[in-house]
Structure 1
Amino acid sequence: MSIQKAADKKAPMACPSTYKTFSLAVQALVALERHSGKCSSGDLASYLHLESTLIRRILKTLAQENLIESREGRDGGYRLKKDAQQITLAEVYTALQVHSSLSDSMLDATAGHCFADQIKESFSDILSEIEENTLSVLRSRTIADIVERSV
């Protein structure tokens, strides 16, 4: 086994910051609200047809950002930390740092040519505007809104 593969096996994987992760996190929060109480990560993984490792990473991030709380043990599980009406999609998006995915991808691709700095500056301006508009829309939607529309 290579050194890199061994290191990959030992190091815990961080929650990937992608739009897919954002979608999965919102779905997990909707599932928690629908179950009006607590759910284990295994139940959520089964409910959402996901790998339990992935959902646990997402739940860990949401717990660290105080959107949910977790309890260990026999009666353990996850539950929303506040009312679904009070959790905006902007909070979830920000907690997962989804904006980094788009920003990093665009800015990383602007290297190695004579006008890279100018392109990077232009992209930075565009990315700031995208971020402002995205957050504006996401602030106007809550987990309760998604629950209501998905009944």
Structure 2
Amino acid sequence: MTSEFTIAVHALVFLNHKAQVYSSEGLAENVCTNAARIRKVMAKLKKADLVKTKEGVDGGYLFHRDSREISLSMVAEALDTPFVTVSWKSGDPHMSCMIASGMAGVMDELYGDLDRCCRERLSHVTIADLDQRIFGKGAAVMTG
């Protein structure tokens, strides 16, 4: 998983709760990162229609969707976020030892299954759910 996912989820929960346009600088201050990273992530969310943008002096980003309908798996999909990956593989597919030649494929399959499990779990968690976890059951759900 990359930090882009965390940035995106934080920004969406913030924009949903505030229900107004925020600049990349304003979002960056709340997320505690820089505005360039915010713009990079928000561009992907805009392309997936998870946020809208407003041009001009008072421009920025606006969450315009029903927060109860936006799952974290939708956010991950917009960012093309892998949750379970590996950068190193053991063994060598050209070795005569069955374990050495087969382990990488077995582990790839296992990691793929784990990634699918993560995505399935996140399909049941919405932006509204996170808002409620932060602000309590009485928190208003903002819709667009």
TM bucket normalised to smaller: 0.7 to 0.9
Which structure 2 residue ranges, 5 or more long, are not aligned? 136-144
Alpha-carbon distance between aligned partners in 1 of 2:128 and 2:100, rounded to the nearest angstrom: 44
- Structure 1 residue ranges (4+ consecutive) displaced by more than 6 angstroms after TM superposition: none
Are the aligned partners of 2:67 and 2:128 in contact in 1 as well (CA < 8 Å)? yes
Larger Rg: 2
Cα RMSD, aligned residues only: 1.9
- Matched to 2:110, the amino acid is I
- Matched to 2:121, the amino acid is V
Report SS of the residue matched to 2:89. coil
Is 1:121 the equivalent of 2:105?
yes
Which structure 1 residue ranges, 5 or more long, are not aligned? 1-17
Alpha-carbon distance between aligned partners in 2 of 1:91 and 1:117, rounded to the nearest angstrom: 36
How far did 1:56 drift?
Answer: 1.0
Q: Corresponding residue for 2:40?
A: 57
TM score, norm. by length of structure 1: 0.77
Are the aligned partners of 2:21 and 2:54 in contact in 1 as well (CA < 8 Å)? no
Is 1:97 the equivalent of 2:76?
no
**Could you tell me which of 100, 116, 134 is aligned with 2:118?**
134
Report SS of the residue matched to 2:68. helix
Q: By percentage of residues, which structure has more helix?
A: 1
Q: Corresponding residue for 1:76?
A: 59
TM score, norm. by length of structure 2: 0.80
Identity of aligned residues (%): 27
Are the aligned partners of 2:13 and 2:127 in contact in 1 as well (CA < 8 Å)? yes
How far did 1:52 drift?
Answer: 0.9
Are the aligned partners of 1:22 and 1:92 in contact in 2 as well (CA < 8 Å)? yes
Give the paired residue count: 130
**Could you tell me which of 17, 24, 32 is aligned with 1:34?**
17
